[in-house]
Structure 1
Amino acid sequence: MRRRIARTDVLRSGICLLVAFLLLSTNAAACTTFAITPGASEDGSMYVGHTNDGVGKYWRQIDDISLIYVPARDHDPGAKRPVFYDPNSGSDAAGGKKGSNASLLLGYIDQVPHTYAYYTSAYGMMNEHQLLSGECTDYAKVELGPEPGKRIFYSSELADIALERCTKAREAVELVGSLIETYGYYGTGETLIFADPEEAWVIEMCSSLDPEDGGGLWVAQKVPDGEVFVAANEFRIREVVPGNPDQLYSSDLFSKLEEGGAWSPADGPLDWLEAVSYGEYAHPYYSLMRVWRIQDRLAPSLNLSPYVESSYTGAYPFSIRPDEKVNLTEAFSLFRDHYEGTDFDLTTGTAAGPFGNPYRYLGPDDAHSDFQNASYQQIRGGANPRPVSAVFCSYSYVAQARSHLPDPVGGILWFGPAVAYETVYAPLYAGATNVSTAYTIGDRLQYDPDSAYWTFDFVTNWAMLRYDAMIDTILAEQSALEAGSIALVQETDSKAVTLIDAGDAEGAARLLTNVTVSRGDAIVDAWHDLTGTLIVTYSNGLITDPETEAVDEPGYPAWWLNETGYQYGPRVYELEDLRDTPGLNYTGKTVWVPKNAPFAEIRDLI
């Protein structure tokens, strides 16, 4: 089980609970998530994607970079399921100096006789019945702390419980909603996607407006078949209409919002986003730019503008119909984006360095803290565009459900450790009972080349030395491995279905497990080989061909030499005069002058 559930030292003092409450302002996830419905996909699959992007020194201690397989279990009558505090349930400030990896028991709920097998980590991903889930964190106007017996649920536990108990998306939404209303909700606002092979639902949640209230607020909306939903750290459900068959919401939603002064019938239809949130998560465009990017990539015919008036813009619809149906590799590519080819392209400009590095370290004003309220907006010193593929990503995945196949075969979790752009998505079958060990181990505080996370994270960081040269090699290997996995899945699907049809469910499970484990091992091994090649080829500023032994020293591009003042370096003895010469540009040309030539003559020549 997950680390926070496995611990036995859960009975803490009231002081510990107070500390846990204070820590709500230090850590959170900043994720991108999407759902591609069967009618919008090329082969009729349902896809749910999630990037688990953590910011801050203590964002997660262990289970953010590793994958956990939780087996199915039977439970005794009268058994209880513990519910634990999630120290990552608050909004983080980049570089925060406090954090906690301690678990705290907040309460119990009645256990069910049988729980399903599922994959999880920071949040639940997919269960054995092809129920898929994705997540992103949102800012809410009110974010209350946990309180045993009053507010015991955060979205992470809710996602896991839904995968333990449900087989359908709407069933999962209804369960999560009932748990929020019965046991209360704490922490940040959250968006969860639940999808089965046929339909997808989005549920968004936050604390009650009244600190004395033990419940919570939630709204859910179905994604129309044939359309794609995307969220990126901002609530996406807007108008809530009573009687809408494609919406669900907490039983006292309207009354609680009216009592809390967040909405009145006189205001007109209830806008969920405006009622419970100020919108953007960290700074203007932090969330909306990612929503625009994915929607614009899939439906350029909509001519969506990346520029909006405010967090409450109505420019980006809840879901869009893609111009062309999306296949699996295109679904992967949605997470592999640095705004290439747009006004916000992170691979260009001075900040990208001489070699087109798209990744940015967190700037002093990139922290995830409130920058606006009901009356004021904070104008910060600056900000970096927030890409879909962020350097602080722990893992990402695209979960796939296929209605034409039995559940053990139809569900595949395509899991990629570390940064999405440079990862390789490995197939994990819903019917497998084990995964490659490399994916289940790892700690951000200790380098371990045997872990899948560090295997991939190292390559991303090494590539930053000369990104423009290395990325083509990385992407070629990535493409080859993923193509091989897709071919392997097609072959395995046929074999597993044949075994199931013949009544050999156990044989099918062994096959699916063997493929899941061996393919994961093979991908990690291949990436180790790639790592060695990249280290040899791009060490010490050189480009060395290991096969031909040819060595090149390309140096920096001319524009970078000019931008960094190379032309003002000590190329003459009159260095002070040289540096006082305005507007000098690097030309790449060399001239000869007599040794006794005056600087004025040299200056005219250069």
Structure 2
Amino acid sequence: MLLLVSNAAACTVFAITPGASEDGSMYVGHTNDGVGKDWRNIDDISILYVPAANHAPGEKRAVFFDPDSGSDAAGGEDSGDSGLILGYIDQVPHTYAYYTGSYGMMNEHQLLSAECTEYAKVELSAAEGKRIFYSSELSNVALERCTKAREAVELVGGLIDTYGYYGTGETLVFADPEEAWVIEMCSSLDEEDGGGLWVAQKIPDGEVFVAANEFRIREVVPGNPDPIYSTDLFSKLEDAGVWSPADGTLDWLEAVSYGEYAHPYYSLMRVWRIQDRLAPSLNLSPYVENSYTKAYPFTITPDEKVNLTGAFSLFRDHYEGTGFDLSTGEAAGPFGNPYRYLGPDDAHTNFQNASYMEVRAGANPRPVSAVFCSYSYVAQARSSLPDPVGGVLWFGPAVAYETVYAPFYAGATNVSAAYATGDRLTYDSSTAYWTFDLVTNWAMLRYDAMIDEITAKQGEIEAGSIALVQETDREAAELIAAGDEEGAARLLTDFTVTRGDEIIDEWHDLSGTLIVKYSNGLITDPATEAVEEPGYPAWWLNETGYQYGPRVYPLEELRATDGLNYTGNTVRVPLNATFADIRELI
């Protein structure tokens, strides 16, 4: 019944409601930190625009297997065939246009969505005609058919009840310009049951929700109108022996999950970090007792209202300035590289269950901005504008800290080719993913120097995009008000495609500058031809034994000298000085 480890490497999501944002926008964010093929049978590094469509009576909608679900396909163990159709559902007369990737992102009616994976006690495999839905296709169907967040939650819940659910535990966020909801789901605890389990809860306006690979909904009280859930939730949990009315109020997280993946704080540290950044007045501690802590509330009220660039910044974080700062210390190397290669105990695997917890050899903190990120986005919905204009998907390929978020309008009908293509196994500088991933990896050679140039250019481009969006908003809204919806669609499409291409071109220019300037350990000014040889910082030279290198002929005696620190100072000694004389001076 339990699945093998999924290809998914974890995601972080947030929802910022209009009452918590500076301009009344709804923001939904998602980092897609997976590695592998998704439901489209392509690498999960690109964006897909799905046009609106009309459908004939009697048509069926195929539901595809997702190999990134952690499930074996019904066709065979460890199958990677994402072309497998698990079943069909009745098609509707009209489906809406939307953007999708590994999961649905935003549709033409400003319905937004985001996803993250959770650790469920039971994660059943797909079964044709019995368990046919995973969160990826659920999010796509919702964006095809719904215009409001609650409508999407109710549709997803109904699909799980009717057609079954397979794969890992999952959280989906749905939001429209005015309202946001969270729905969390997992397989039924009985393999013979064809359904699934789910609970949904509304995010209060003025609040911010954060999730990072652990279920966030806790108490579920029958008759309470706030959460909604599968009709047989309580009976299924009672039949499975994981909860009974005698236990008191149902705790959804405790009933269906063992908590975090990989190691303690794999999930909770990211929740703490974003909540603490937004509401430092809460004085939230980064330390908790266990995975079932209630130290971090379901939602928080930010101390200051969040704007768009502030929303971007939530994904650009390596715990800077905290005790977990990945940009400092020996592990960051001489140049403050905040990224860590995944070790044996850093992976997205289970370390605890009902009987034991593995105390592993060690681990690195899991940051919000992870080096294996395939893309991230902040989707924006604005009630003050018509749907085609009000919805903007700010999409950033590759690693969040070094990406540039490009605007994709809800009313556009095409995207830049650079963003719609790409494969991790084939380097292609014309694709958005490799354009940005190259810069991240090149920056690791001398991160502390290059990151300032990267973020300066990033800020310049994003500020330019925000100004251009404001201008395009006005023009497109005027066209719609005048009845020229086709003209508005052309304008929004041209802007979306052109701005995407411009961003790629500007990042190519930056890439070339960084390669020339920082090649071979030097810093070269292409304009003046000045060349610096900065070497390594003194603390790094001291820690790595530079001072014990071949700087005297009595090398063995030098290396036998304890406590010798690198100071950067040079002394002169007579040519016939003894080592004892030299040692006294140095």
Alignment TM class, shorter chain as reference: over 0.9
Deviation at 1:57, TM superposition (A): 11
Counterpart residue number, 2:268: 288
Deviation at 1:62, TM superposition (A): 3.0
Counterpart residue number, 2:523: 543
Deviation at 1:583, TM superposition (A): 1.6
The yes-or-no answer on 1:43 pairing with 2:23 is yes
- Counterpart CA distance in 2 for 1:91 and 1:421 is 31
Counterpart residue number, 2:375: 395
- Counterpart CA distance in 1 for 2:405 and 2:251 is 37
Task: Return the match for 2:169 from 168, 178, 189.
Answer: 189
- Counterpart CA distance in 2 for 1:75 and 1:23 is 36
> Residue 207 and residue 71 in structure 1: after superposition, are their counterparts in 2 closer, same or farther (change >3 A)?
same
- Counterpart CA distance in 2 for 1:179 and 1:190 is 15
> Residue 124 and residue 316 in structure 1: after superposition, are their counterparts in 2 closer, same or farther (change >3 A)?
same
The yes-or-no answer on 1:592 pairing with 2:580 is no
Deviation at 1:109, TM superposition (A): 0.7
- Counterpart CA distance in 1 for 2:118 and 2:60 is 30
Counterpart of 1:308, as a letter, is V
- Counterpart CA distance in 1 for 2:416 and 2:321 is 37
Counterpart residue number, 2:229: 249
Task: Return the match for 1:350 from 315, 319, 330.
Answer: 330
> Residue 509 and residue 223 in structure 1: after superposition, are their counterparts in 2 closer, same or farther (change >3 A)?
same
Equivalent residues in 2 for 1:373-384, closer than 5 Å: 373-384=353-364
Deviation at 1:408, TM superposition (A): 0.4
Task: Return the match for 2:386 from 390, 403, 406.
Answer: 406
Equivalent residues in 2 for 1:411-430, closer than 5 Å: 411-430=391-410
Equivalent residues in 2 for 1:88-487, closer than 5 Å: 88-90=68-70, 100=80, 102-487=82-467
Counterpart of 1:31, as a letter, is C
**Local SS of the residue matching 1:433:** coil
- Counterpart CA distance in 1 for 2:460 and 2:418 is 20
**Local SS of the residue matching 1:444:** coil
Counterpart residue number, 1:519: 499
The answer to whether the 8 A contact 2:182-2:202 is kept is yes
Counterpart of 1:41, as a letter, is S
Counterpart residue number, 2:484: 504
The yes-or-no answer on 1:557 pairing with 2:537 is yes
**Local SS of the residue matching 1:393:** coil
The answer to whether the 8 A contact 1:91-1:369 is kept is no
Counterpart of 1:168, as a letter, is K
Deviation at 1:56, TM superposition (A): 7.4
Deviation at 1:258, TM superposition (A): 0.6
> Residue 57 and residue 205 in structure 1: after superposition, are their counterparts in 2 closer, same or farther (change >3 A)?
closer
- Counterpart CA distance in 1 for 2:328 and 2:71 is 31
- Counterpart CA distance in 2 for 1:564 and 1:59 is 47
- Counterpart CA distance in 2 for 1:67 and 1:574 is 63
- Counterpart CA distance in 1 for 2:307 and 2:285 is 25
Counterpart of 2:157, as a letter, is G
Task: Provide, for residues 282-335 of structure 1, a one-character-per-residue CA deviation record: whole Å limited to 9, x for no partner.
Answer: 210010000000000000000000010100000000000001110000000000
Deviation at 1:55, TM superposition (A): 4.8
**Local SS of the residue matching 1:106:** strand
Task: Provide, for residues 208-244 of structure 1, a one-character-per-residue CA deviation record: whole Å limited to 9, x for no partner.
Answer: 0011111000000000000000000000000001222
Counterpart of 2:231, as a letter, is S
Higher mean displacement: 584-593 or 227-236: 584-593
Deviation at 1:428, TM superposition (A): 0.4
Question: Normalising to structure 1: TM-score of the pair?
Answer: 0.94
Deviation at 1:597, TM superposition (A): 2.4
- Counterpart CA distance in 2 for 1:30 and 1:421 is 16
Counterpart of 2:384, as a letter, is H
The answer to whether the 8 A contact 1:29-1:88 is kept is no
> Residue 60 and residue 364 in structure 1: after superposition, are their counterparts in 2 closer, same or farther (change >3 A)?
farther
- Counterpart CA distance in 1 for 2:334 and 2:450 is 13
Deviation at 1:63, TM superposition (A): 3.6
The answer to whether the 8 A contact 2:38-2:102 is kept is no
Identity of aligned residues (%): 82
The answer to whether the 8 A contact 2:35-2:374 is kept is no
Gap runs ≥5 in structure 1:
1-20, 93-97
How many aligned residue pairs are there? 581
Deviation at 1:119, TM superposition (A): 0.2
- Counterpart CA distance in 1 for 2:37 and 2:308 is 34
**Local SS of the residue matching 1:25:** coil
- Counterpart CA distance in 2 for 1:282 and 1:206 is 19
Deviation at 1:569, TM superposition (A): 1.1
- Counterpart CA distance in 2 for 1:575 and 1:60 is 62
The answer to whether the 8 A contact 1:23-1:100 is kept is no
> Residue 224 and residue 22 in structure 1: after superposition, are their counterparts in 2 closer, same or farther (change >3 A)?
closer
Deviation at 1:58, TM superposition (A): 10
The answer to whether the 8 A contact 2:262-2:345 is kept is no
Deviation at 1:600, TM superposition (A): 2.4
Deviation at 1:91, TM superposition (A): 8.3
> Residue 57 and residue 415 in structure 1: after superposition, are their counterparts in 2 closer, same or farther (change >3 A)?
closer
Deviation at 1:363, TM superposition (A): 1.4
Gap runs ≥5 in structure 2:
73-77
- Counterpart CA distance in 2 for 1:91 and 1:378 is 24
Deviation at 1:76, TM superposition (A): 1.1
Task: Provide, for residues 377-401 of structure 1, a one-character-per-residue CA deviation record: whole Å limited to 9, x for no partner.
Answer: 1000000000000000000000000
The answer to whether the 8 A contact 2:38-2:66 is kept is no
Task: Provide, for residues 543-588 of structure 1, a one-character-per-residue CA deviation record: whole Å limited to 9, x for no partner.
Answer: 1111111111111000000011111111122222222222221111
Counterpart residue number, 2:75: none
Deviation at 1:454, TM superposition (A): 0.3
Deviation at 1:601, TM superposition (A): 2.3
**Local SS of the residue matching 1:220:** strand
Counterpart of 1:122, as a letter, is S
**Local SS of the residue matching 1:88:** helix
RMSD: 1.7
- Counterpart CA distance in 2 for 1:573 and 1:237 is 68
